[in-house]
Amino acid sequence: MAHPGLSKLDVSCVNTIRFLAADAVQKAKSGHPGMPMGMAPAAYVLWTRHLRYNPANPLWHNRDRFVLSGGHGSMLLYSLLYLTGFDYSLDDLKSFRQWGSKTPGHPEYAPELGVEATTGPLGQGISNAVGMAIAQKHLAKYFNREGFPILDYKIYVFCGDGDLEEGVSGEACSLAGHLGLNNLVVVYDDNHISIDGPTELSFTEDRAKRYEAYGWYVQEIGGDGNDMKKFEKALINAKSEVERPSIIKLRTHIAYGAPNAQDTAEAHGSPLGDEEVALTKKNLGWDPEKKFEVPEEVLTQMRLAVDRGKEAEDEWNELFAAYAQRYPDLAKQFNDAAAGNLPVKIEQALPKFQPGESVATRKASGKVLDALMPHIPLVMGGSADLTPSNNTRFKDVFDFQKDKPEGRYIRFGVREHAMGAILNGISVSGLLRAYGGTFLVFSDYMRGAVRVAALSKYPSIFVWTHDSIGIGEDGPTHQPVEHFAALRAIPNLLVFRPADANETAHAWKYALEHRNGPVALLLTRQGLPVIDQSKFASAANVTRGAYILSSRGKPDVVLLASGSEVSIALEAAKLLDADRIPTQVVSMPCWKLFDRQDDKYRNSVIPADVKVRIGIEAGVSMGWEKYLGETGLFIGMSSFGASAPGKVCFQEFGITAENVATAARDLHKKIKEEAA
């Protein structure tokens, strides 16, 4: 079994990678051994001859990025990280897929360990890589100067058939071709096998022609995945390409070398079995009796990466020191961004909205961006073809395009899912922040990327406008009703639904300062009255998640609302005041932040002894029960919306101040009578 382009020692290194993967999966009795075994030669050549990284400092900014988009083959990545000297031990590999290990079943974002992205949901990794490539292009244009290529790294991806079948990758790769991201190199593991069986059962289009149509540079390598002469030539060609992203279609064999499992669907997602592993080792000239074997000469060869990495970073540090002398302001910006420091005190730059105005929160968001973005240059934003509606484009910005990488505004086109994944890729650049907008109802198309952002704590910012039946005539296809609840259900996603323009400004402030996970802003199409902060509480309280907006002493009634319904609650409170029913109005822009407050604060906002609690929101009731208690009522949606003017929709669905006041009066009377 020849490996052209590899020496005998190289082949031993390749087989070490193969069998560490096979042994770890076998020990765990769970996992996907096939892909690591087939892709080991390509991985070895990339990681030892072309990929630039420093195992002693995985966060070095000018490292190349490697994304294992087919995350089921995670043992390929873990084997490489261990062998090349990252902070992994052989015991970590033996703990594959076990509680608390560094080696979970699919890679989970841990850049300090060399894992650049969370992959597993197919299509996400390759789409994240498009975002990483956009980030590098923009950062290089911003920071690099002649003779000082401070950021000139590339992004490499290993992907499989599943990645190319998922729609998100088609969206992202189409945009990558349009943008001419020549810093992106994808190696496609063309092994002809999926979980169901041969890929020809469902996947028969010409992938090479598809990617040529996207505008990519396509190279095809036949054979069995072992001809590293051809692969390395293709890799060099891809690195040298100046106009297009590259994909190398590499024909491989899943579970290469396994006499009974090679080219079988079973080898994709099941351990080979002790007997088959032993037979494979024997077949490839390995000791079938030894498990997790790492020959000394192999470890010595692979660990050369440590010295190479140190040398590469040392050279870069010298370059950066000279750069800092020549361009001190840019160097300071670089270091501040790397430390997560914003170049402006946002509180001082926020626009102030005056009472008496009626401002849609989407428009308020646009005004906030106009005010802040000139002071925060390392933020990129965009929209999925809804720029005029989302108000995501700020003044004097121009578009990021193939010939204008300095542009800060990304035209994602009608590609919501790709937009989410690309934002995540930009967000892990280490220097840039990213936001993107569409209608809230289309957050459904983004949910896969949003969930990964929350799981991985990527600091992406999702701007979702047209947030309720208030959008009116477009009707129920465009009117979100279940989305508040669905998004709040995602752990670690902070969902803000601001009540007015000033709450919107402070929600943006929080989003830009928050770096430990994604933030979603849910914004209205329709105008909302600006709440008078001289009469009511300050909008800066959005950081508490929920706060008392108005109160009349010890309340008998608490009205709880978010977003556009807060002004309805304030109107209802006036009606109840006329009946001498003490009412407390609570704005609840971000439930998760409120839930993090201490008991004393939460009980002051929603007193435990107040039984008359009314929740008001133009969405479904799911989740409200924890705030309303056993006696509270919810006024909102229990169905889809309707096509009619927004005000008519609110009236017809009963989300009005009059209905709120009536419900509160009736419940107040009932509870008093029961107490008597």
- Span 93-146, pLDDT tens digits: 999 999 999 999 999 999 999 999 999 999 999 999 999 999 999 999 999 999
Question: Do 301 and 400 fall within a single domain?
Answer: no
103: left (phi over 0), alpha (psi -120 to 50) or beta: beta
Question: Do 499 and 632 fall within a single domain?
Answer: no
Give me the chain's average pLDDT, please: 97
Cα dihedral sign, 527-533-535-536: positive
**Strand extents, DSSP E, 355-460:** 358-360, 379-383, 409-411, 433-439
417/127 Cα distance (integer angstroms): 9
Q: Domain count of the chain?
A: 3
Does residue 329 belong to any structural domain of this protein? no
Which domain covers residue 599, as residue numbers? 542-675
CB 508 within 8 A of CB 365: yes
- Residue 542: how many other CB atoms lie within 10 Å: 26
How many alpha carbons lie under 13 Å from residue 153 in its C-beta half-sphere?
27
CB 441 within 8 A of CB 496: no
Residues with active-site annotation: 416
CB 136 within 8 A of CB 153: yes
Does residue 428 belong to any structural domain of this protein? yes
Does residue 226 belong to any structural domain of this protein? yes
Q: Which tokens belong to 457?
A: 């704590």
- pLDDT, tens only, 431-459: 999 999 999 999 999 999 999 999 999 99
Does residue 164 belong to any structural domain of this protein? yes
Please, which pLDDT band fits residue 553 given cuts at 50, 70 and 90?
confident
Question: Do 351 and 489 fall within a single domain?
Answer: yes
158/231 Cα distance (integer angstroms): 13
CB 468 within 8 A of CB 480: yes
Question: Do 525 and 546 fall within a single domain?
Answer: no
Q: Which tokens belong to 363?
A: 């428009």
3/249 Cα distance (integer angstroms): 18
**Res. 1: pLDDT tops 80:** no
Query: Which of 497, 529, 561 corresponds to the end of one domain?
Result: 529
Query: What's the CATH number where 552 sits?
Result: 3.40.50.920
CB 124 within 8 A of CB 118: yes
- Residue 386's nearest CA partner among 337, 356, 419, 360 is 419
Return the residue matching tokens 């989003």.
511
Apex CA 456: angle with CA 452 and CA 457, to 5°?
110
**Start-end of H helices in 457-553:** 483-488, 501-513
Does residue 283 belong to any structural domain of this protein? yes
406/244 Cα distance (integer angstroms): 18
Query: What's the CATH number where 72 sits?
Result: 3.40.50.970
**Res. 653: pLDDT tops 80:** yes
Does residue 318 belong to any structural domain of this protein? no
- Residue 48: how many other CB atoms lie within 10 Å: 18
Using alpha carbons only, how large is the chain's radius of gyration in Å? 28
Question: Do 597 and 622 fall within a single domain?
Answer: yes
Looking at the whole model, is its pTM more than 0.85?
A: yes
- pLDDT, tens only, 265-278: 999 999 999 999 99
- Residue 488's nearest CA partner among 437, 562, 384, 598 is 562
Query: Which of 309, 338, 357 corresponds to the end of one domain?
Result: 309
Query: Which of 529, 558, 586 corresponds to the end of one domain?
Result: 529
Which residues lie below 8 Å from residue 591, measured CB to CB, with a gap of 6+?
488, 495, 545, 546, 623
Question: Do 392 and 522 fall within a single domain?
Answer: yes
In terms of Cβ atoms closer than 10 Å to its own Cβ (0-12, 13-18, 19+), residue 648 is: middle
Residue 552 pLDDT: 84
Apex CA 634: angle with CA 631 and CA 640, to 5°?
150
- Residue 49: how many other CB atoms lie within 10 Å: 12
Question: Do 283 and 383 fall within a single domain?
Answer: no
Question: Do 523 and 554 fall within a single domain?
Answer: no
- Residue 110: how many other CB atoms lie within 10 Å: 16
Question: Do 513 and 552 fall within a single domain?
Answer: no
619/460 Cα distance (integer angstroms): 24
Please, which pLDDT band fits residue 673 given cuts at 50, 70 and 90?
confident
Q: Which tokens belong to 332?
A: 């300071």
Which residues lie below 8 Å from residue 669, measured CB to CB, with a gap of 6+?
none
Compute the CA torsion angle 426, 429, 434, 439 (nearest 10 deg).
30
- pLDDT, tens only, 320-374: 999 999 999 999 999 999 999 999 999 999 999 999 999 999 999 999 999 999 9
Strand partners, 520: 462, 495
**Res. 676: pLDDT tops 80:** no
Residue 593 pLDDT: 98
245/475 Cα distance (integer angstroms): 40
- Tell me the mean pLDDT in the region 595-617: 97
Does residue 486 belong to any structural domain of this protein? yes
Does residue 68 belong to any structural domain of this protein? yes
Question: Do 442 and 513 fall within a single domain?
Answer: yes
- Residue 249's nearest CA partner among 326, 185, 338 is 185
**Start-end of H helices in 89-166:** 90-94, 124-143, 161-165
Compute the CA torsion angle 282, 287, 291, 292 (nearest 10 deg).
-100
Residue 589 pLDDT: 98
- Phi and psi of 159, rounded to 5°? -135, 165
Cα dihedral sign, 99-96-269-39: positive
Question: Do 276 and 355 fall within a single domain?
Answer: no
In terms of Cβ atoms closer than 10 Å to its own Cβ (0-12, 13-18, 19+), residue 552 is: middle
- Residue 184: how many other CB atoms lie within 10 Å: 31
- pLDDT, tens only, 36-76: 999 999 999 999 999 999 999 999 999 999 999 999 999 99
Question: Do 385 and 468 fall within a single domain?
Answer: yes
